[in-house]
């Protein structure tokens, strides 16, 4: 009888400990879920939309020097090709981006490849793929500030930092022609 009573007490203590651990786990999961919902709420604004104002950011050159980028020339346009080395869609998009770059040489547009990977990886990718346009790396805040939801992404920004248009994914021929027209038009 005494042995049965000890087993029963042990079972009760074990049950209380298990319930306490499960309760703690539920509390931790609820906290993580709340944090995830808050993060998703911030980032669920989708991609940048025409007319939105973008923030300045830091470009990281391939020698790891940091260069602040400011929108200070209202007469210019800025075209960003946002990529990730190793992204097959970005690699497919290089053909379109190179055509846009080649056709815009005498226009008042600055074109940059923006790598979401570290400068060392981006530098080797640029060399390997023989990318002709200026390409830089950025820190992790760029994706949040510019609402980058994936790569490749092409973003046209006016000289005052206002988003003109954003294209997500691989560009088709119509989109490529649209970008060419937008950067060659005198009225923005």
Does the pLDDT of residue 43 top 70, yes or no? Answer: no
Residues 10 and 87 in one domain: no
By mean pLDDT, which of 8-17, 41-50, 140-149, 165-174 is the weakest? 41-50
Residues 110 and 149 in one domain: yes
What does the mean pLDDT of the chain come to?
A: 88
Residues 79 and 134 in one domain: yes
Compute the average pLDDT of residues 24-29.
87
Which H/E stretch holds residue 177? helix 173-184
Tell whether 39 is covered by a domain: yes
73 to 53, 59, 64, 67, 95: CA distances (angstroms): 15, 17, 25, 17, 29
pLDDT of residue 10: 79
Residues 71 and 36 in one domain: no
Does the pLDDT of residue 176 top 70, yes or no? Answer: yes
Residues 68 and 138 in one domain: yes
Residue 160: give the domain boundaries.
57-184
pTM: 0.74
pLDDT of residue 45: 62
Residues 5 and 92 in one domain: no
pLDDT of residue 32: 78
Tell whether 9 is covered by a domain: yes
Where is pLDDT greater, at 178 or 36?
A: 178
pLDDT of residue 34: 64
Tell whether 49 is covered by a domain: no
pLDDT-derived band at 159 (thresholds 50, 70, 90) equals very high
Residues 172 and 92 in one domain: yes
Compute the average pLDDT of residues 2-28.
82
Q: Could you list the beta-strand ranges (E) of the chain.
A: 57-60, 66-69, 77-83, 109-115, 134-138, 153-158, 163-168
Contacts of 100 (CB under 8 A, 6+ apart): 79, 111, 176, 179, 180, 183
pLDDT of residue 91: 96
Percent of the chain with pLDDT over 70: 88
Compute the average pLDDT of residues 36-44.
52
Tokens at residue 175, please?
């989109």
Q: What is the CATH number of the domain that holds 75?
A: 3.40.30.10
Q: Exposed/middle/buried for 113, CB within 10 Å: 0-12, 13-18, 19+?
A: buried
Where is pLDDT greater, at 104 or 36?
A: 104
């Amino acid at each position: 009888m005494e042995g049965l009573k000890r087993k029963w007490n042990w079972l009760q203590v074990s049950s209380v400990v298990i319930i306490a651990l499960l309760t703690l786990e539920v509390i931790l999961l609820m906290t993580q879920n709340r944090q995830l919902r808050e993060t998703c709420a911030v980032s669920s604004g989708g991609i940048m939309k025409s007319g939105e104002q973008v923030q300045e950011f830091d470009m990281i050159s391939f020698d790891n020097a940091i260069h602040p980028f400011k929108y200070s020339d209202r007469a210019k346009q800025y075209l960003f090709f946002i990529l990730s080395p190793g992204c097959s869609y970005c690699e497919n998009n290089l053909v379109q981006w190179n055509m846009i770059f080649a056709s815009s040489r005498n226009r008042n547009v600055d074109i940059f490849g923006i790598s979401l990977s570290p400068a060392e990886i981006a530098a080797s990718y640029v060399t390997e793929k023989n990318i002709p346009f200026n390409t830089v790396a950025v820190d992790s805040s760029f994706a949040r500030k510019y609402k980058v939801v994936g790569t490749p992404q092409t973003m046209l920004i006016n000289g005052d930092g206002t988003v003109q248009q954003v294209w997500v994914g691989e560009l088709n021929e119509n989109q490529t022609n649209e970008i060419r027209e937008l950067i060659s038009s005198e009225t923005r």
